[in-house]
Chains A and B, each alone.
Chain A
Amino acid sequence: MTTADDELDLTTLDDAELYELMGEDLYDGLREDVIEGVTEALARGHAAYDVLTDGLVAGMEQVGIDFRDGVLFVPEVLLAASAMKGGMELLRPRLAETDAPRAGTLVIGTVKGDIHDIGKNLVGMMMEGAGLEVIDLGINRSADDFVAAVQEHRPELLGMSALLTTTMPYMREVIEALAEAGLRDDLHVLVGGAPVNEEFAEAIGADAYCRDAAVAAQTARQLLGARTAVPAGG
């Protein structure tokens, strides 16, 4: 099997086969193979945006569906996300040069007083899997940290998480600080964490509550789709 793969000469494939293989490699979490596929597609003169949507995003959509349906497990999804990231690293500079819609940037962090980060990390990896650039601020982050990161990276999305009911209210302070800095309106704010719910998200003025990492990635794609009018997954 691996021998056959190793010997496979990508140049012998037609475009449809190349993209199909790229999607399958992504699904299987084969980072190096995905990078090879992306390289080959670019060498054929395909636009980076087409490689992204026809190859990578198509593959990740199947990953998302099968994760939701319990077919794929988290470690498999993370492998696929890592392969996606590998492909994106090649595409991102090229995407930036063109006027193609941006895949989007997410700044994410655990709020002040809280240092629980497994959920936040999972969301970050899924977002990368959805093709976003992820700036992870880490744990125990103050409103100033979030504001500074938003100023620096100008993301479309900001994600915050908290595990404790005592630290959860701090999310409101971050949102208020963003508003004071005049940054709130250009940003979708996503919140999550075990004690957080829809009602709380609404009360503090967040744009969405994401109950888990898969929902977060889905929400991000929907929000970005609405904003940039690209197809879901763009």
Chain B
Amino acid sequence: MARAAARSRRRRGPRTTPDTRAIVAPPGALGGRYAPLTEGEIERIHDAALTVLERTGVEVQASEAREVFADAGAEVDTATDRVRLPRGLVEETIAAAPTEVHLAGRDPRHDLVLGGTRVYMGTGGAAVKVLDLDTGAARESTLADVARFGRLADALDNTHFYLRACVARDLPNELLDVNTFYASLANTTKHVTGNCFTVESLEEVLELATTIAGGEQALRERPLVSLVTSWTVSPLRFAPETTEVLTAAVRLGVPVFLSSAPQAGATSPAALAGTLVQLHAEELSGLTYTQLLRPGAPTVLGYVPSVSDLRTGNFVGGSPEFALMNAAVAQLGRRCGVPVYNSSGLSDAKVPDVQAGYEKALTGLAAALAGSNYIHHSVGFLESLLTVAYEAYVIDDDLNGSIMRMVRGIEVTDDTLSLDVIDEVCGPDGEGHYLGTAQSLALMNTEFYYPHTADRRTREDWEADGAPDLRERARLRARELLDTHRVQPFPDGVDDRLRDRFDLQLPPELAAAR
């Protein structure tokens, strides 16, 4: 019986490599092994952040948000717009925050469960320039780019969500949000995150998502979209308009990322610990706000600590300090028992070069090993967040696969200790090597990460192939995926309804899910 089955398997023709990605570099693998802060240091930073909120306070202009804080017992100084939050209020209020936030993809295989030390890596935005795939030169980003990056994110194995890559600069402001979400959702079955500039556009985006999900209840159960709300401008200031959008999103039940992005030395202290204190205070003020509005509202702490290069004042996204701080925030978020969004795997390089590679590896690896839950900006980003590139998507996806393999770590079990295999191979009847063992056969697809674009051939083979560098190989793969990848369509009739209802500018041929 067994031999017959084996024969028939052989007869089936060329072997196809099984899809073992989920085993080799599993989305949601548990991080947390890298811990730049000790437990005592976490406590000191947390306590200092509470002191900042109590003593210095946050600036909130006269608004509904300020009323919410005042009603809860915060001290409001109307002359200086300062809202001071007693530590008891903060700690009691944030206890209501959910420890997990569930985000859905149109395809349930891409669902994310944010929380604990589960690690997901994905794209970020919004860039304002794109390296054109044909010319290689930087140009303004368009709605077509939002769609094409979405399709690439859908095709790439180690990209776990699609946070819209770039700004559709060919659209007027009033069409921007609904078109950006449509172009994203129409091109990927992974979870889509974006932002909304006004409460009106948020309502449009929610109507769009509700139609795709198949109703309000369906969307509530499976949130296909989530919202980045950059509700602060550091240091310690609430941005009035974004706070209005945040307020509406929380009331409407949309999962929100509280994104705050201070730059050490410019908009937060030059001392890295001081930047963490200020940023943690900002996050705690935001979390307190969402939980006062609606206890239990799905909220993700959005720590985005960066650095200002004090030689120029320029934003820096690819430095060792960036790596350290973005790892540390995973620990601070866990201290509160709330999921963490952060930024890593970006670069200040202008093209995907060696600088881009090492900066991305440093920051992405640090954040992932630290157990950050939703690592955005980790695919395709160049020029300190200003530019995104198709070939960089492909390269970074391989990098993130390698990182996720490292997060998964080394399984040490009776089997993997391999005592019997060693004894057999090295024994009197052994072959003296492991290439043909049953263990090698069993593990060849699951123990090792095989990058798509890294070149591991001999020099002779590489030269015979025209000696292509990584960028060139990645461009080829990006083009191939964009040409051949098919995206699971929306349910029947949905696209027509969306196009009837909204002024959708994406050409139908770029709406893969149509």
Least CB distance from A65 to B in Å reads 14
CB within 8 Å of A: which B307-344 residues: 308, 310-315
A-B contacts, 29 of them at CB < 8 A, read A70-B311, A73-B311, A74-B265, A74-B310, A74-B311, A74-B312, A74-B313, A75-B310, A113-B241, A115-B239, A116-B233, A117-B233, A118-B263, A118-B266, A118-B313, A122-B313, A165-B126, A165-B128, A165-B167, A165-B169, A166-B167, A166-B173, A166-B176, A166-B197, A194-B128, A194-B315, A194-B386, A212-B313, A212-B314
- Secondary structure class of chain B's binding surface, majority of residues: loop
Residues of B within 8 Å of A113, CB to CB, are: 241
Indicate if the CB atoms of A118 and B267 lie closer than 8 Å. yes
CA distance A115 to B234 in the complex (A): 10
CB within 8 Å of B: which A86-138 residues: 113, 115-119, 122
Residues of A within 8 Å of B310, CB to CB, are: 73-75
Residues of B bordering A, CB below 8 Å: 126, 128, 167, 169, 173, 176, 197, 233, 237, 239-241, 263, 265-267, 308, 310-315, 386
Contact of B312 among A117, A118, A212 (CB under 8 A): A212
Residues of A within 8 Å of B176, CB to CB, are: 166
Residues of B within 8 Å of A116, CB to CB, are: 233
Residues of A within 8 Å of B128, CB to CB, are: 165, 194-195
Least CB distance from A204 to B in Å reads 14
CA distance A213 to B266 in the complex (A): 14
Residues of A bordering B, CB below 8 Å: 70, 73-75, 113, 115-119, 122, 165-166, 169, 194-195, 212-213
Indicate if the CB atoms of B311 and A115 lie closer than 8 Å. no
Question: Given contacts A113-B241, A119-B313, could you give 5 more A-B pairs where the C-beta distance is less than 8 Å?
Answer: A165-B167, A165-B169, A166-B167, A166-B173, A195-B386
- Secondary structure class of chain A's binding surface, majority of residues: loop
Closest to A76 in B: B310
Residues of B within 8 Å of A73, CB to CB, are: 310-311
Residues of A within 8 Å of B233, CB to CB, are: 115-117
Least CB distance from B484 to A in Å reads 32
CA distance A70 to B311 in the complex (A): 6
CA distance A75 to B309 in the complex (A): 11
Least CB distance from B381 to A in Å reads 14
Least CB distance from A79 to B in Å reads 13
CA distance A69 to B240 in the complex (A): 39
Residues of A within 8 Å of B263, CB to CB, are: 118
CA distance A114 to B53 in the complex (A): 25
Residues of A within 8 Å of B240, CB to CB, are: 115
Residues of A within 8 Å of B126, CB to CB, are: 165
Residues of A within 8 Å of B308, CB to CB, are: 74, 118
Closest to A140 in B: B240
Residues of A within 8 Å of B237, CB to CB, are: 115
Residues of B within 8 Å of A169, CB to CB, are: 173
Residues of B within 8 Å of A213, CB to CB, are: 313
CA distance A165 to B233 in the complex (A): 17
Residues of A within 8 Å of B311, CB to CB, are: 70, 73-74
CA distance A113 to B128 in the complex (A): 18
Least CB distance from A222 to B in Å reads 20
Tell me which of B233, B314, B315 has the highest count of chain A C-beta atoms within 10 A of its own C-beta: B233
Closest to A117 in B: B233
CA distance A116 to B260 in the complex (A): 12
Closest to B262 in A: A118
CA distance A116 to B239 in the complex (A): 9
CA distance A212 to B315 in the complex (A): 12
CA distance A106 to B43 in the complex (A): 46
Closest to A68 in B: B312
Least CB distance from A35 to B in Å reads 26
Least CB distance from B315 to A in Å reads 8
Residues of B within 8 Å of A195, CB to CB, are: 128, 386
Residues of A within 8 Å of B386, CB to CB, are: 194-195
Closest to A169 in B: B173
Residues of B within 8 Å of A119, CB to CB, are: 313
Residues of A within 8 Å of B173, CB to CB, are: 166, 169
Closest to B309 in A: A74
User: 10 closest pairs, A vs B, by CB?
Assistant: A195-B128, A73-B310, A165-B167, A74-B313, A74-B310, A115-B233, A166-B173, A118-B266, A73-B311, A118-B267
Residues of B within 8 Å of A70, CB to CB, are: 311
CA distance A75 to B312 in the complex (A): 10
Closest to B128 in A: A195
Closest to A122 in B: B313
Least CB distance from A39 to B in Å reads 32
Residues of A within 8 Å of B313, CB to CB, are: 74, 118-119, 122, 212-213
Least CB distance from A82 to B in Å reads 16
Closest to B168 in A: A165
Residues of A within 8 Å of B267, CB to CB, are: 118
Residues of B within 8 Å of A75, CB to CB, are: 310
Closest to B233 in A: A115
CA distance A75 to B176 in the complex (A): 39
CA distance A118 to B314 in the complex (A): 10
